[in-house]
């Protein structure tokens, strides 16, 4: 891998004594001292204990957060080698019950805005009434614990109501956003055999309306196990769903029939009972149906939202997402900390890149979550939210999805808010949380993630399974089980898919597939996917390094890098760039690109050729499709190289296909 950088980056944020004193994490440390007689000099010592005494740590979470359990657990952890383990065997609980114990009529439960409607709010009483109404209807439809509910919904309050209703009766939730095509949705939902489909008539994005009723009708044919459709007129309040071949109930009719005094049914389920099914990107095949548990995600989400996001009751929490990305599930989790969640449905760039910052002002956001590409886009567009909007209540900005380059850190502090806590985090669908992320007790170094999260025994290993020295780069691995690891993959009865996804390289150890550097400061830098490594003249280069340098060049809107190894031992590394409006890929721009890479890193980082493309291909969940592009250029069969239905912009792959024709 590339040589480590021994230069200490600039400190961009330090917690004040008041922030530290008021943080949930400090309160937990104080509680451990009082309740357990445990004393920790610093966060690193606390993390070390949490990662080595895992049963003690997770039992302390159970006790600290006063988990509502309807039956006691017999033991904290049964079986210690991954993936053959079980947490809190015997306990029964319900994730939704822990959401509603935070209800408080002094503050709204949800704030919502989309491109066509202004900001609105939903009270806790109305959220509970609607949830109870839908939950009762699910039971009337014969839904039993473990039955699956599939949702084709935008990021709106309907989806929050529906998921809470499904949870409360022990049903298993799974959702896709309505920008998915029918084949892509069916690839996911057909695996789990849902009994009910909840769907909308369409959605709006970028100022355009998209009628999806034909897609819903097609889904009704592709999902033979569905016997009931709950239809939501979202785009057009008068829309109906005809000729679906299924029984159809209108959402509004169901909700209007509910009464204010109806109690929410809560069914206690075993700790490991399936909560929801999330999906891998499916770039080269059928997406894996990754199944998470009530108890596992409950404990993990309580831990992260309190200790690593430091969300307090009444604060307003937002993460730009769709129902097809795990950050939507994570947004729901913020309600466990008593926050008001803020939902936005639409384009983050319509009518311009100020729309979300304006919403942050209107809602008085404390926590603004987004993706690294969004922050980079704002940086490249040279917008200045600090001058345009009142962000005085903003405490934190969260970033995930891909590594956040140092220049974007600088942009946030120079042009958004000088004293904001910038919390870069990384995790994924696999655990529905972050492995590494924010910490209210530690400084923020420019370009770095603050810490390994509590309870996550993460290390950086070489190819022989040995930890690398601090500051060196290796494979991200997790050596101890966590409750939020999947309970199984759906339709994987012998666990073969699950084991091959994480445990083939290092038996009994989770290999996540990222290059990671754990610095001498115990902060972290992620350098891209290890399966997209650029093996350049015998030296492995993380793709994130390339993008970090390219992002400093304003003429480059986006980029993609791959390296093709040849049979004779040589290689060819092309850089593909999508240009900003008005830019031209001339010799001067190519020279500046190469100079930036050579100066920031090494001559090995300089591509063999720079080619202009219309746009970079992305998965629906927003990941650059480096490996599928490489397979296409290696002339692999197209049906083996990539899955067009898994793409946000499938036409972007046509350029690469034409290259090899």
Tokens of 202: 């369409």
pLDDT at 537: 62
pLDDT at 3 over 60: no
Assigned domain for 491 exists: no
Query: CA triplet 428, 432, 438: central angle to 5 degrees?
Result: 75
Q: Do 518 and 581 contact (CB within 8 A), yes or no?
A: no
pLDDT at 449: 97
pLDDT at 285 over 80: no
pLDDT at 284: 61
Domain limits at 600? 532-660
Q: Do 317 and 369 contact (CB within 8 A), yes or no?
A: yes
Which of 124-128, 137-141, 425-429, 621-625 has the weakest average pLDDT? 621-625
Assigned domain for 139 exists: yes
pLDDT at 509 over 50: yes
pLDDT at 4: 45
pLDDT at 180: 84
The closest of 604, 624, 616 to 651, measured between CA atoms, is: 616
pLDDT at 181: 83
pLDDT, averaged across the chain? 93
DSSP 496-527: HHHHHHHTSSSTTSEEEEEEEEE-TTS-EEEE
Tokens 């997402």 correspond to: 321
Q: Do 340 and 109 contact (CB within 8 A), yes or no?
A: yes
d(CA 317, CA 312): 10
d(CA 450, CA 433): 16
Helix (H, G, I), strand (E, B) or coil at 422: strand
Higher-confidence residue of 20 and 244: namely 20
Name the band, by pLDDT with cuts 50, 70 and 90, for residue 545: confident
d(CA 487, CA 60): 22
Assigned domain for 629 exists: yes
Assigned domain for 492 exists: no
The closest of 51, 199, 226 to 143, measured between CA atoms, is: 226
* Counted domains in the chain: 2
Last residue of a domain, one of 270, 304, 330: 270
Which of 121-130, 401-410, 414-423 has the weakest average pLDDT? 401-410
- If you average pLDDT over residues 201-209, what whole number do you get? 96
Assigned domain for 23 exists: no
Last residue of a domain, one of 233, 251, 270: 270
Q: Give me the helix-helix angle, 43-52 and 54-64, nearest 10°.
A: 110
Strand partners, 281: none
Render the burial of 344-366: b for 16+ CB within 10 Å, e for the rest. Answer: bbbbbeeeebbbbbebbbebbbb
Assigned domain for 62 exists: no
Q: Please count the CA atoms within 13 angstroms of the CA of 328 that sit on its side-chain side.
A: 26
List, for residues 451-508, the tens digit of each pLDDT value: 999 999 999 999 899 999 999 989 999 999 999 999 999 999 999 999 999 999 999 9
Q: How far is CA 190 from CA 149, 150, 214, 286, 325, in A?
A: 12, 10, 18, 11, 18
pLDDT at 2: 42
List, for residues 302-349, the tens digit of each pLDDT value: 999 999 999 999 999 999 999 999 999 999 999 999 999 999 999 999
d(CA 185, CA 189): 6
List, for residues 562-614, the tens digit of each pLDDT value: 988 776 667 899 999 999 999 999 999 999 999 998 887 778 889 999 999 99
CATH label of the domain that carries residue 249: 3.40.50.12780
d(CA 459, CA 475): 8
- If you average pLDDT over residues 546-559, what whole number do you get? 90
pLDDT > 70 fraction of the chain, expressed in percent and rounded: 97
Last residue of a domain, one of 235, 270, 305: 270
Q: What DSSP state is assigned to residue 371?
A: E
Which of 1-10, 226-235, 316-325, 599-608 has the weakest average pLDDT? 1-10
List, for residues 419-459, the tens digit of each pLDDT value: 999 999 999 899 999 999 999 999 999 999 999 999 999 99
List, for residues 71-115, the tens digit of each pLDDT value: 999 999 998 789 999 999 999 999 999 999 999 999 999 999 999
Assigned domain for 234 exists: yes
List, for residues 380-406, the tens digit of each pLDDT value: 899 999 999 999 999 999 999 888 989
Higher-confidence residue of 511 and 636: namely 511
Cβ neighbours of residue 213 closer than 8 Å, sequence gap 6 or more: 201, 202, 239, 241
Cβ neighbours of residue 614 closer than 8 Å, sequence gap 6 or more: 578, 652, 655
CATH label of the domain that carries residue 563: 3.30.300.30
pLDDT at 1: 45
Assigned domain for 160 exists: yes
Q: Where are the alpha helices (DSSP H) in 226-293?
A: 251-256
């Amino acid at each position: 891998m590339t040589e480590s950088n021994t230069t200490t980056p600039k400190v961009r944020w330090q917690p004040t004594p008041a922030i530290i004193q008021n943080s949930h994490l400090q309160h937990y440390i104080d509680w451990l001292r009082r309740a357990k007689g445990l004393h920790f000099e610093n966060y690193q010592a606390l993390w070390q204990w949490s990662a080595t005494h895992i049963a003690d740590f997770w039992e302390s979470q159970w006790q600290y957060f006063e988990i509502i359990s309807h039956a006691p657990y017999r033991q904290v952890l049964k079986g210690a080698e991954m993936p053959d383990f079980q947490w809190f065997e015997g306990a029964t609980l319900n994730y939704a019950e822990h959401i509603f114990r935070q209800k408080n009529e002094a503050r709204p439960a949800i704030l919502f805005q989309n491109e066509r409607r202004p900001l609105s709010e939903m009270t806790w009483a109305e959220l509970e009434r609607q949830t109870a109404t839908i939950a009762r209807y699910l039971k009337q439809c014969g839904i039993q614990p473990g039955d699956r509910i599939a949702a084709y919904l935008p990021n709106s309050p309907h989806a929050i109501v529906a998921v809470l209703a499904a949870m409360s009766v022990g049903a298993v939730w799974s959702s896709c956003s309505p920008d998915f095509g029918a084949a892509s949705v069916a690839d996911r939902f057909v695996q789990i055999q849902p009994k009910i489909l909840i769907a909308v008539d369409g959605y709006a994005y970028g100022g355009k309306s998209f009628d999806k009723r034909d897609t819903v009708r097609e889904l009704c044919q592709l999902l033979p196990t569905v016997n009931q459709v709950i239809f939501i007129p979202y785009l057009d309040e008068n829309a109906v769903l005809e000729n679906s071949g299924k029984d159809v109930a209108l959402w509004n009719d169901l909700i209007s029939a509910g009464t204010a005094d109806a109690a929410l049914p809560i069914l206690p389920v075993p700790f490991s009972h399936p909560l929801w099914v999330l999906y891998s990107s499916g770039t080269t095949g059928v997406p894996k149906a990754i199944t998470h548990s009530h108890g596992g995600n409950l404990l993990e989400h309580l831990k992260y939202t309190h200790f690593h996001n430091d969300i307090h009751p009444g604060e307003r929490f937002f993460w730009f997402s769709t129902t097809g990305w795990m950050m939507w599930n994570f947004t729901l989790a913020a309600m466990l900390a008593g926050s008001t969640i803020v939902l936005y449905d639409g384009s983050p760039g319509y009518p311009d890149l100020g729309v979300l910052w304006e919403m942050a002002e209107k809602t008085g956001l404390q926590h603004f979550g987004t993706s690294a590409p969004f922050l980079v886009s704002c940086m490249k567009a040279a917008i200045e939210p600090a001058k345009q909007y009142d962000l005085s209540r903003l405490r934190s900005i969260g970033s995930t999805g891909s590594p956040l380059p140092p220049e974007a850190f600088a942009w946030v502090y120079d042009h958004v808010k000088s004293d904001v806590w910038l919390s870069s985090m990384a995790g994924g669908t696999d655990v529905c949380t972050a492995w590494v992320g924010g910490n209210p007790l530690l400084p923020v170094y420019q370009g770095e993630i603050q810490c390994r999260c509590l309870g996550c025994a993460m290390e950086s290993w070489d190819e022989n399974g040995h930890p690398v020295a601090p500051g060196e780069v290796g494979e991200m691995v997790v050596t101890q089980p966590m409750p939020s690891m999947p309970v199984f993959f759906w339709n994987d009865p012998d666990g073969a898919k699950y084991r091959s996804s994480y445990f083939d390289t290092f038996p009994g150890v989770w290999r996540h597939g990222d290059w990671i550097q754990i610095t001498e400061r115990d902060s972290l830098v992620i350098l891209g996917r290890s399966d997209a490594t650029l093996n350049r003249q015998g030296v492995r280069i993380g793709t994130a390094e390339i993008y970090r340098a390219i992002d400093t060049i304003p003429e480059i809107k986006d980029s993609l890098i791959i390296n093709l190894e040849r049979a004779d031992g040589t290689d060819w590394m092309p850089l593909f760039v999508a240009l900003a409006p008005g830019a031209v890929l001339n010799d001067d721009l190519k020279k500046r690109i190469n100079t930036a890479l050579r100066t920031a890193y090494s001559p090995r980082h300089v591509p063999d050729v720079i080619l202009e493309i219309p746009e970079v291909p992305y998965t629906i969940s927003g990941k650059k499709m480096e490996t599928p592009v490489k397979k296409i250029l290696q002339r692999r069969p197209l049906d083996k190289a990539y899955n067009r239905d898994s793409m946000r912009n499938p036409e972007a792959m046509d350029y690469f296909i034409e290259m090899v024709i």
